[in-house]
């Protein structure tokens, strides 16, 4: 009798799985981070979001569940080897996405933890490891709770600015696909870039030394101005290769910036000091300044100048705090949400969209650099 019951149970499970899979559109793959069936209620919305950014529906789509230690559940949408979108069902926001960058959780399954942009972890035994940064392995759960405290602030700020255009679609369970497509096609947004943004996303720059992302961002900004104002002598030739690109080995521009003695871990004000010291040394007619949160950042971008944004985060591999930096070079203006277009300072992550409050969450800093 037990064998018959077991057989019926197996048949029932297989039948249920078959029905679930049959209900999906062709070439659609849905996977949960724990390798169980994970059926997103918002799959059609996700597909329209992808199409609105790429012009095409994704051939393959993988949906994974991301969690934190405060009970938040987000959805990660992966579109093959490139393209990812992190969705918060509470705010209706895609709080972080890139049509071009590889998912930070690509080929990762199990217990996936997300504590905001650049904070991607997967459980490995009893500890957690960063999915990209090699020196952040075997991090204890206690250390990650420090990141959780910061993420609680970020997600709270994010949820104060809901994307009502998406929420209205989520709340209509019977909405027709044609209506959904029409709603996304009529959602208005505009990407505003600084002049010649390719100087940012095509930049060659020295690698991050572990905690030197503020200096990487500074190199990207200085290189931008050196390319845009070629006769201004922003970067001395000793830091450039034969093609006029920044050197990535030997004594680099990053090494020289670090020689000013402010330390690898940086803030908006330390990078401001670094830039002003650099200008004094090489007689460059420019001025750096800094601000709290996003104060002054939007106006700088609208004036056509890149801005370095710093997220104030606990240092999970040591003590104290560390400021992860990104280079902002554009803004997406939407119906309800503004997003920064940023360079992460990681290869492959040259164009990522961040919700305006997702990164600095009101508790970070920013550095501006203006030629006189």
Runs of H (alpha helix) within 247-306: 253-258, 268-281, 297-302
* pLDDT at residue number 5: 38
Query: Domain containing 42: what range?
Result: 24-187
Number of domains comprising the chain? 2
How far apart are the C-alpha atoms of 267 and 322, rounded to whole Å? 8
**249 and 149 share one domain:** no
Residue 125 resides in a domain: yes
**42 and 177 share one domain:** yes
Residue 326 resides in a domain: yes
**287 and 352 share one domain:** yes
Element (H, E) at 338: strand 338-343
How far apart are the C-alpha atoms of 11 and 123, rounded to whole Å? 33
* pLDDT at residue number 21: 29
**175 and 225 share one domain:** no
Instruction: Report how far Cα 150 is from the mean position of its chain's Cα atoms.
Output: 16
How do residues 168-182 score in pLDDT, each as one tens digit?
888 776 667 777 777
Element (H, E) at 48: helix 43-54
- Cross-strand pairs, 191: 332
Do the beta carbons of residue 324 and residue 82 sit within 8 Å? no
How do residues 53-102 score in pLDDT, each as one tens digit?
999 999 889 999 999 999 999 999 999 999 999 999 999 999 999 999 99
Residue 14 resides in a domain: no
For the chain, how are helix, strand and coil distributed in percent, rounded to 5? 30, 25, 45
Element (H, E) at 368: strand 365-371
Residue 11 resides in a domain: no
**223 and 177 share one domain:** no
Q: Which two tokens stand for residue 23?
A: 């209900």
**46 and 116 share one domain:** yes
**178 and 229 share one domain:** no
Residue 5 resides in a domain: no
**204 and 160 share one domain:** no
Nearest Cα to Cα of residue 303 among 363, 370, 213: 370
Residue 283 resides in a domain: yes
**304 and 173 share one domain:** no
Low-confidence ranges of the chain (pLDDT < 50): 1-37, 319
Residue 213 resides in a domain: yes
Runs of H (alpha helix) within 163-267: 164-170, 177-186, 198-201, 213-228, 253-258
Do the beta carbons of residue 169 and residue 183 sit within 8 Å? yes
Residue 200 resides in a domain: yes
**64 and 126 share one domain:** yes
Provide the CATH number for the domain around residue 197. Answer: 3.90.70.10
**Structural domain ending residue among the three candidates 138, 164, 187:** 187
**97 and 76 share one domain:** yes
Q: Which two tokens stand for residue 80?
A: 């093959």
SS3 assignment, position 206: coil
How far apart are the C-alpha atoms of 217 and 323, rounded to whole Å? 12
**Structural domain ending residue among the three candidates 146, 162, 187:** 187
What number of other Cβ atoms are within 10 A of residue 160's Cβ? 9
**202 and 174 share one domain:** no
How far apart are the C-alpha atoms of 3 and 272, rounded to whole Å? 72
Q: Which two tokens stand for residue 225?
A: 């101005």
Q: What's the whole-model pTM score? A: 0.82
**Structural domain ending residue among the three candidates 163, 187, 211:** 187
Element (H, E) at 9: helix 2-23
């Amino acid at each position: 009798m037990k064998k018959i019951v077991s057989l019926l149970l197996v048949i029932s499970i297989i039948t249920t799985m078959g029905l679930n899979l049959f209900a999906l559109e062709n070439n659609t793959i849905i996977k949960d981070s724990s390798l169980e069936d994970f059926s997103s209620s918002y799959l059609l919305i996700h597909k329209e979001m992808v199409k609105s950014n790429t012009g095409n529906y994704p051939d393959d789509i993988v949906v994974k569940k991301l969690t934190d230690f405060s009970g938040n559940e987000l959805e990660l949408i992966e579109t093959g080897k490139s393209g990812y979108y992190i969705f918060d069902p509470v705010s209706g926001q895609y709080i972080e996405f890139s049509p071009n960058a590889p998912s930070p959780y690509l080929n990762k399954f199990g217990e996936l933890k997300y504590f905001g942009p650049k904070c991607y972890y997967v459980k490995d035994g009893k500890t957690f490891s960063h999915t990209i940064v090699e020196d952040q392995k075997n991090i204890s759960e206690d250390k990650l709770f420090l990141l959780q405290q910061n993420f609680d602030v970020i997600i709270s700020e994010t949820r104060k600015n809901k994307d009502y255009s998406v929420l209205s679609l989520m709340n209509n369970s019977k909405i027709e696909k044609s209506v959904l497509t029409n709603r996304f096609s009529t959602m208005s947004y505009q990407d505003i870039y600084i002049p010649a943004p390719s100087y940012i996303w095509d930049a060659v720059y020295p690698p991050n030394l572990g905690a030197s992302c503020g200096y990487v961002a500074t190199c990207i900004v200085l290189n931008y101005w050196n390319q845009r104002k070629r006769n201004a002598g922003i970067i001395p030739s000793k830091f450039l290769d034969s093609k006029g690109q920044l050197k990535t080995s030997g004594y680099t521009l990053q090494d020289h910036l670090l020689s000013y003695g402010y330390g690898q871990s940086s803030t908006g004000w330390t990078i401001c000091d670094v830039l002003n010291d650099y200008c004094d040394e090489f007689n460059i007619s420019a001025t750096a300044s800094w601000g709290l949160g996003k104060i002054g950042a939007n106006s700088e971008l609208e004036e056509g100048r890149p801005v370095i944004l710093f997220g104030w985060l606990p240092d999970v591999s040591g003590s104290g705090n560390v400021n992860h930096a990104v280079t902002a070079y554009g803004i997406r203006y939407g119906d309800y949400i503004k997003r920064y277009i940023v360079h992460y300072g990681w290869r492959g992550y040259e164009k990522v969209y961040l919700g305006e409050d997702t990164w600095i969450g009101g508790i970070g800093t920013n550095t501006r650099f203006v030629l006189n």
